[in-house]
Amino acid sequence: MPSSLNKPPTPPTVPPPLLCPSPPPLKNIHFQQPVRRILTPSDLALFQSSQTHTLIMSFIKDLNNSVLNLPLSHPAPRPAIVDELISVLDAVDAIVDRHPAEEAGGSRFGNAAFRGFYDEDGVIKKGAIQEIKAYFAEAFGNRTRIDYGSGHELNYLIYLLCLRQLSLLPPSTYTPIVLHLFTRYLTLMRRIQTTYYLEPAGSHGVWGLDDYQFLPFLFGSSQLYSHPYLRPKCIHDDEILEQFSKEYIYLSCISFINSIKVTAGLRWHSPMLDDISNARNWAKINGGMMSMYEKEVLGKLPIMQHFLFGGLVSAVEGMGGGDGDGEDGEDGEREVVDREGMTHVHSTWGECCGIKVPAAIGARKAGEQASLRKVPRIPFD
């Protein structure tokens, strides 16, 4: 391939236009307790053609465009509202301190101490608007299954979208939202995942992009969009990862995965990320990530059946009216009852909550403990 084809794309000379419509007038918002409305493939189809779907994708694209070619050290002004939202995550971090993992519960399938963290009457249950706190409470994993996945990550995004719909997060906050607030959420979730051995909810790390997250790879590829010398294949270079993982979210994610999945290599435990590294440039990856998110997260019934609709992020008429017929749908999807007694749609791969899959974090720690060699006592006469 000629080297010219591998050159990074020319960065835009002007900021990309905003795609999100203006927030609605507050008097037009009818607040309500968010509920599930996507119960069948027909409901999902209605959602995919709705203004709410367009709103969510537009918000994601605006956030993505706001960090185009910007490292984490970029001196973007940080509004007070962003600092306040970071302090909320700091308070959640403090809850983890008060609920350490149970020694007897060191299972590869999740530590029961997570339920104590989840139930604490603290930040998770606060909020002036019940809609916002509903999304916030769902952003840290499932209490019963002790798992976390892209659907929970989506709840944190919708939590931010709700604040945006209330005109609290104007476009000027988008860059610090990604560079500071979202990265704080990401580091917090890494701590929660490693503390409580959360199961991967759906992706399972083989067929999916990552065990837990999706959006960091999207925003991270935007940061690297026109980088003059870092190419997608650089994720295989340990020295580059060590030097630049503090500046670029994508490389930070690769470093974290490598620190957890220490056996074999990226090709074996994260084949999709390995395949993506062969892309021509970061622009290709960023565009592919955006399409993949729309299809594999917002377009999958096993994930979107958990999505909540209220007044700020509304459903369309006709959604949630069907009772389901229990027949297989697309891609072998079928209706089952999960461990909480709730009707769910699962795929033949056991996505969502049908099959317990051990956390790689817990598997690694269990392996380390099993391999520890006891040093014999040295006899002294």
In tens, the pLDDT along 218-231 reads 999 999 999 999 99
What is the per-residue pLDDT for 233?
95
Residue 255, pLDDT above cutoff 50 = yes
CATH superfamily ID and name for 33-318+353-362: Phosphotyrosyl phosphate activator, C-terminal lid domain (1.20.120.1150)
Region of residue 236 (phi > 0: left; psi between -120 and 50: alpha; otherwise: beta): alpha
Residue 144, pLDDT above cutoff 80 = yes
**Phi/psi of residue 199, nearest 5 degrees:** -70, 150
Q: What is the C-alpha radius of gyration for the chain, rounded to an integer number of angstroms?
A: 21
- Beta bridge mates, 309: 35
What is the per-residue pLDDT for 72?
97
Residue 105, pLDDT above cutoff 80 = no
- Beta bridge mates, 337: 343
Helix, strand and coil in the chain, % to nearest 5: 50, 5, 45
Residue 103, pLDDT above cutoff 50 = yes
Q: For tokens 């973007």, what's the residue?
A: 76
Please, what is the average pLDDT of the chain?
81
* % of the chain exceeding 90 in pLDDT: 53
Cβ contact 123:95 at 8 Å = yes
Residue positions counted in the chain = 381
Residue 216, pLDDT above cutoff 80 = yes
> Higher confidence at residue 241 or residue 105?
241
**∠ CA(87), CA(89), CA(90), 5° rounding?**
60
What is the per-residue pLDDT for 26?
85
What is the per-residue pLDDT for 306?
92
Q: For 176-187, give one letter per residue: b (16+ CB within 10 A) or e.
A: bbbbbbbbbbbe
In tens, the pLDDT along 151-173 reads 999 999 999 999 999 999 999 99
Residue 4, pLDDT above cutoff 80 = no
Highest mean pLDDT (candidates 111-125, 201-215, 244-258)? 244-258
In tens, the pLDDT along 335-372 reads 554 544 455 555 544 445 544 545 555 555 555 544 44
Highest mean pLDDT (candidates 89-103, 111-125, 177-191)? 177-191
Mean pLDDT for 110-116 is: 67
Residue 284, pLDDT above cutoff 60 = yes
Neighbouring residues of 326: CB distance < 8 A, sequence distance ≥ 6: 334, 335
What is the per-residue pLDDT for 24?
92
> Higher confidence at residue 335 or residue 78?
78
What is the per-residue pLDDT for 163?
94
In tens, the pLDDT along 297-328 reads 999 999 999 999 999 999 999 998 655 444 44
Neighbouring residues of 307: CB distance < 8 A, sequence distance ≥ 6: 36, 37, 38, 47, 151, 154
Structure tokens of 288?
A: 């592919």
What is the per-residue pLDDT for 37?
95
What is the per-residue pLDDT for 176?
98
Structure tokens of 225?
A: 């969009």
Structure tokens of 281?
A: 């440039």
Single-letter code of the amino acid located at 7:
K
What is the per-residue pLDDT for 261?
79
For residues 72 and 183, what is the distance between their CA atoms, to the nearest angstrom? 9
For residues 130 and 251, what is the distance between their CA atoms, to the nearest angstrom? 36
Angle between helices 215-223 and 282-296 (to 10 degrees): 160
Q: Where along the chain do its domains lie?
A: 33-318+353-362
What is the per-residue pLDDT for 121?
58
Q: For tokens 């949630």, what's the residue?
A: 320
Mean pLDDT for 36-43 is: 95
Residue 373, pLDDT above cutoff 50 = no
Cβ contact 131:163 at 8 Å = no
For residues 134 and 126, what is the distance between their CA atoms, to the nearest angstrom? 10
What is the per-residue pLDDT for 214?
94
What is the per-residue pLDDT for 190?
92
